């Protein structure tokens, strides 16, 4: 099935577009299921996009970075939050979508997008009997993990988002499974885009 949702540039115009069933929103010439350019649709105030890495450091305490190779010249990314300023004086309707690095094709286009969300999970510390040495026990440290791009604030002047990816364990040193000591892995490297509309927000401050 083709792409059905597009937040960004379609035919030279920025907007929020949704195609009908079984139609590719990027190439279909048929009528769209939703088109933010339509006169009765929401009016676009502004568009922005960017890239975020997790808020993690290596063993030396240095914030990990990642190179965005889809722009020229390439950019080194070290931001884990983004503040999207609109200065409308009220909380507007908006639409945010994001993708991981693995979701971006060779042309720099997202093949999958996600609405804002943040997922937290944990596996508590446990002790199990050693299957090979009878009477011995193996202690497994607890692991706590979080993932996703979250909206951390919506105000009358700006929207703030954050890459929440990361995890750590209960051992003495801690560890981060989504990042090596030297690099941010693909699944924790987020590309995001945001459309802000002139209408007031009607979803209690959440994204469309």
Calculate mean pLDDT across residues 111-134.
Answer: 77
Between CA 92 and CA 156 the distance in angstroms is: 8
Residue 58 DSSP label: -
Whether the model pTM is above 0.75: no
* pLDDT attached to residue 130: 65
Side-chain half-sphere CA neighbours of 133 within 13 A: 4
201 vs 135: which has the higher pLDDT: 201
Between CA 37 and CA 8 the distance in angstroms is: 12
Cis peptide leading into 73, omega within 30 of 0? Answer: yes
CB burial of 130-167 (b: ≥16 within 10 Å; e: otherwise) equals eeeeeeeeeeeeebebbbbbbbeebeeebbebbbbbbb
Q: Tens digit of pLDDT for each residue in 59-118? A: 677 777 777 777 667 777 888 899 999 999 999 999 999 999 889 888 888 889 999 998
**Tally of CB atoms within 10 A around 80:** 19
């Amino acid at each position: 099935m083709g792409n059905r949702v597009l937040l960004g540039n379609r035919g030279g115009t920025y907007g929020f577009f949704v195609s009908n069933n079984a139609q590719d929103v990027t190439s279909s010439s048929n009528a769209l299921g939703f088109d933010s350019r339509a006169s009765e649709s929401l009016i676009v105030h502004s568009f922005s996009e960017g890239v975020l890495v997790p808020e993690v450091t290596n063993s030396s305490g240095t914030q990990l970075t990642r190179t965005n190779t889809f722009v020229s010249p390439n950019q080194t990314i070290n931001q884990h939050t983004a503040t999207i300023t609109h200065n409308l004086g009220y909380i507007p309707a908006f639409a945010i979508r994001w993708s991981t690095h693995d979701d971006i094709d060779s042309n720099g286009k997202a093949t999958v997008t996600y609405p804002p969300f943040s997922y937290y999970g944990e596996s508590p510390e446990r002790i199990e009997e050693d299957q090979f040495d009878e009477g011995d026990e193996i202690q497994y440290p607890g692991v706590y993990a979080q993932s996703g791009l979250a909206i951390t604030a919506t105000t009358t002047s700006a929207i703030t988002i954050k890459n929440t990816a990361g995890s750590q364990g209960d051992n003495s040193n801690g560890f981060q499974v989504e990042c090596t000591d030297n690099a941010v892995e693909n699944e924790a490297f987020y590309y995001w885009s945001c459309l802000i509309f002139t209408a007031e927000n009607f979803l209690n401050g959440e994204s469309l």
